């Protein structure tokens, strides 16, 4: 076959093959043109998944009547002039090919009017053949209607899928653009049904909530960083929220949605260890950089771009996310009660704090029982030598306590002024051997009754569990100095006059407890560091708790006493309460651990945990002797 110059029509059809894959491509190109025209409102409506009609109406700057034929001509654009402009692209389009391609394979109607012009004009292009430009009445802005896509390329029309599949693609294209341009009011209609109506909003978060739900949006983590001219900002989901594919990873470059393998990889890397295999993180990330740092002219639909320094972006993304995760209390967020509802009132806060304490203490206790090596963060100062003697005991799994932690509950579990290290009396009775004995019985949901060598023992379940937890916490702390965790953002705490004075007067003492405070003016102090072991607790609550103790005791308390008080209140909050029904397994675990604590006879407050009726006493009472 001889070499021939292809006709313009065929050239356009070939170009259309690259740019227009399906109705969603038309939606994308027309929406991008509207944004490039500075529109503040864009209405998209499609029929039959866009196969019959795609209509996009905008209120942008419009096209001058005499330029209408040029707009739909190939290689005609108002967005660049010379080759250097390719590296100064601030618009979404620049190739001048989209409209020509679309008009070649459909029946396209364009109606447009500039804001200066008293009237608009209309042009129809059918399969690439231009009609006449005729005047028409229309508001300023531009309307495009693309009818019967692929009507003259039947093979391509056959590749289209079902209406719902095509509309799915349309909706996805719409979502990407609407996410990138939150300041524009967008609507999407399908077969006369409004699918989205998104008024202009300040930021992307609102849009995310509209598309993916409040629940997801409320749990996103904001990230931000700058590396030279490259700015990264956006939202990533908490690891508890993930997907089984990577479709919820939206990356935008200078307002353009892109796909980039390296950045996707960085995202996966950042979540390594936080997600189970086969789960993908959710992210909405925007990169902003000078246009000359990126070549957007490497892909017909510009979905892929080429960065000048892809490695730098990779490390920026990875380090930004890792840094954020290290300083974010991911655990606490997972445990936020009420399925994500933020605490509102003081009761909710108290309940949340108490639940966190309980979870933390249970988690800690449970983790100590894991075999060596299974502990994810066995660090120096927490070697097996320091673990309590109860290493071999399996963790207690106790009934969830639903009583709120209120001042009344606190009063029910009072701390004596100087309850430091109660001299540990060795157990006076021989440890019982559960084997062959009656298992423990719970009575009144508050006491455990058990048979021992000596006779019968009645145990206060709360007092015993509290003692066990307390001793376990204490041996953890005795294993090493209290590590202070630096707060990335120091937390201001408003205190009473006396509390503020006590906080500043006792800075050294607080520092020994791992609490670093600084004056902030008035009765406000700044917490800049707090005990790492209390990472899941609210720093200001911890500070108040300690200040309470400082103010309660007449004389200056010792570090040891304060620390002890903290442990007491943690143990008290975490322990089962009177009124909690225990399962037989829980009862026997509790009884089993009883023999492993140093002072099984007293709760940390010095109250007895058990009463013993000796066999001799019973015999005497029943006149058997
Ligand atoms: P490109 O966007 O790459 O320039 P297009 O074929 O999409 O190429 O559009 C060609 C030209 O038509 C644009 O450069 C622009 O000047 C004009 N145009 C297209 N759509 C609109 C619109 N909605 N409002 C104003 N002008 C438009
Ligand atoms: Mg365009």
pLDDT digits (tens, 9 = 90+) for 570-587: 677 667 888 888 888 888
State the closest ligand 1 atom to the C-alpha of 34, by its place in the atom list counted from 1. Answer: 23
Rounded to whole angstroms, the Cα distance separating 239 from 529 reads: 25
pLDDT interval class at 424 (50, 70, 90): very low
Q: Is 313 helix (H, G, I), strand (E, B) or coil?
A: helix
Q: Where are the alpha helices (DSSP H) in 412-555?
A: 461-478, 497-505, 507-512, 539-552
**Mean pLDDT across 98-119:** 96
- Asked if the model's pLDDT at residue 602 lies above 70, the reply is no
What angle (nearest 5°) sits at the alpha carbon of residue 183, between those of residues 181 and 187? 75
Q: What is the DSSP letter of 6?
A: P
Give the Å distances, CA to CA, from 100 to 29, 130, 154: 11, 11, 19
Ligand 1 pocket check for 93: Cβ under 6 Å? yes
Give 360-397 pLDDT, tens digit per residue: 544 444 443 333 333 333 222 222 222 233 322 223 33
Output the residue whose Cα is nearest ligand 1's atom 1. 96
Output the residue whose Cα is nearest ligand 1's atom 2. 93
| Two tokens, residue 616 | 């001799």
Q: Which ligand is nearest to the CA of 68?
A: 1
Ligand 1 pocket check for 29: Cβ under 6 Å? yes
Residue 277 is predicted with a pLDDT of 75
* Centroid of ligand 2 to alpha carbon of 23 (angstroms): 15
Rounded to whole angstroms, the Cα distance separating 575 from 463 reads: 8
- Asked if the model's pLDDT at residue 523 lies above 50, the reply is yes
Residue 379 is predicted with a pLDDT of 29
- Asked if the model's pLDDT at residue 91 lies above 90, the reply is yes
* Centroid of ligand 1 to alpha carbon of 71 (angstroms): 6
Rounded to whole angstroms, the Cα distance separating 26 from 146 reads: 8
Q: Which ligand is nearest to the CA of 142?
A: 1
| Two tokens, residue 432 | 């019982």
- Asked if the model's pLDDT at residue 58 lies above 90, the reply is yes
State the closest ligand 1 atom to the C-alpha of 60, by its place in the atom list counted from 1. Answer: 24
* Centroid of ligand 2 to alpha carbon of 67 (angstroms): 15
State the closest ligand 1 atom to the C-alpha of 76, by its place in the atom list counted from 1. Answer: 10
Pick from 50-64, 149-163, 591-605: least confident: 591-605
The answer to whether 496 and 483 are in contact (CB under 8 A) is: no
Half-sphere exposure of 153 (CA within 13 A, CB side): 27
**Mean pLDDT across 236-262:** 90
Ligand 1 pocket check for 114: Cβ under 6 Å? no
Residue 369 is predicted with a pLDDT of 37
Residue 249 is predicted with a pLDDT of 95
pTM: 0.58
**Mean pLDDT across 407-423:** 33
pLDDT interval class at 348 (50, 70, 90): low
């Amino acid at each position: 076959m001889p070499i021939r110059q292809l006709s313009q029509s065929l050239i356009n059809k070939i170009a259309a093959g690259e740019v227009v894959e399906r109705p969603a491509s038309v939606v994308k190109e027309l929406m991008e043109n509207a944004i490039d025209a500075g529109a503040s409102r864009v209405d998209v409506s499609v029929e039959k998944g866009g196969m019959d009609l795609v209509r996009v109406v905008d209120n942008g700057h419009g096209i001058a009547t005499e330029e209408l034929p040029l707009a739909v001509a190939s290689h005609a654009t108002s967005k660049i002039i010379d080759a250097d402009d390719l590296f100064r692209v601030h618009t979404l389009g620049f190739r001048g090919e989209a409209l020509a391609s679309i008009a070649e394979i459909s029946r396209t109607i364009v109606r447009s009017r500039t804001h200066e012009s008293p009237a608009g004009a209309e042009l129809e292009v059918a399969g690439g053949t231009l009609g006449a430009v005729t005047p028409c009445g229309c508001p300023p802005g531009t309307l495009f209607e693309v009818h019967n896509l692929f009507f003259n390329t039947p093979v391509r029309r056959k590749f289209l899928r079902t209406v719902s599949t095509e509309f799915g693609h349309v909706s996805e294209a719409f979502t990407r653009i609407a996410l990138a341009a939150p300041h524009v009011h967008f609507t999407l209609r399908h077969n006369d049904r409004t699918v989205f109506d998104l008024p202009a909003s300040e930021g992307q978060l609102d849009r995310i909530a509209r598309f993916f739900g409040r629940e997801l949006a409320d749990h996103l983590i904001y990230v931000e960083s700058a590396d030279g001219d490259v700015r990264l900002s956006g939202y990533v989901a908490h690891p508890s929220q993930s997907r089984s594919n990577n479709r919820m990873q939206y990356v935008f470059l200078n307002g353009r949605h892109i796909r980039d393998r390296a950045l996707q990889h960085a995202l996966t890397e950042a979540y390594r260890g936080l997600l189970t295999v086969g789960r993908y993180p959710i992210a909405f990330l925007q990169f902003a950089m000078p246009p000359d740092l990126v070549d957007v002219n490497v892909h017909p639909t510009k979905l892929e771009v080429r960065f000048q320094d892809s490695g730098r972006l990779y490390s920026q993304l990875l380090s930004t996310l890792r840094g954020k995760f290290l300083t974010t209390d991911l655990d606490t967020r997972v445990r936020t009660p009420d399925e994500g509802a933020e605490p509102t009132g003081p009761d909710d806060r108290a309940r949340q704090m108490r639940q966190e304490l309980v979870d933390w203490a249970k988690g800690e206790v449970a983790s100590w029982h894991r075999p060596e090596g299974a502990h994810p963060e066995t660090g120096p100062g927490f070697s097996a030598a320091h673990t309590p003697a109860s290493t071999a005991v399996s963790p207690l799994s106790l009934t969830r306590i639903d009583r709120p932690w209120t001042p009344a509950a606190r009063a029910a579990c009072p701390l004596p002024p100087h309850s430091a290290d109660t001299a540990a009396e060795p157990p006076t009775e021989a440890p019982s051997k559960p084997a062959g004995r009656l298992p423990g019985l719970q009575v009144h949901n508050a006491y455990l009754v058990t048979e021992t060598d000596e006779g019968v023992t009645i145990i206060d379940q709360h007092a015993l569990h509290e003692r066990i937890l307390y001793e376990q916490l204490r041996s953890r702390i005795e294993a090493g100095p209290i590590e202070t965790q630096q707060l990335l953002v120091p937390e201001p705490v408003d205190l009473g006059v006396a509390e503020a004075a006590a906080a500043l007067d006792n800075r050294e003492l607080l520092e020994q407890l791992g609490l670093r405070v600084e004056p902030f003016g008035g009765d406000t102090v700044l917490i800049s560091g707090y005990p790492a072991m209390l990472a899941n607790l609210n720093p200001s609550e911890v500070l108040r708790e300690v200040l309470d103790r400082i103010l309660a005791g007449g004389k200056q308390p010792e570090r040891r006493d304060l620390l002890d008080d903290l442990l007491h209140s943690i143990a008290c909050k975490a322990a089962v309460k009177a009124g909690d029904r225990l399962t037989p397994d829980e009862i026997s675990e509790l009884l089993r651990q009883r023999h492993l604590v140093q002072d099984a006879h007293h709760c940390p407050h010095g109250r007895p945990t058990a009463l013993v009726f000796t066999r001799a006493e019973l015999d005497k009472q029943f006149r058997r002797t």
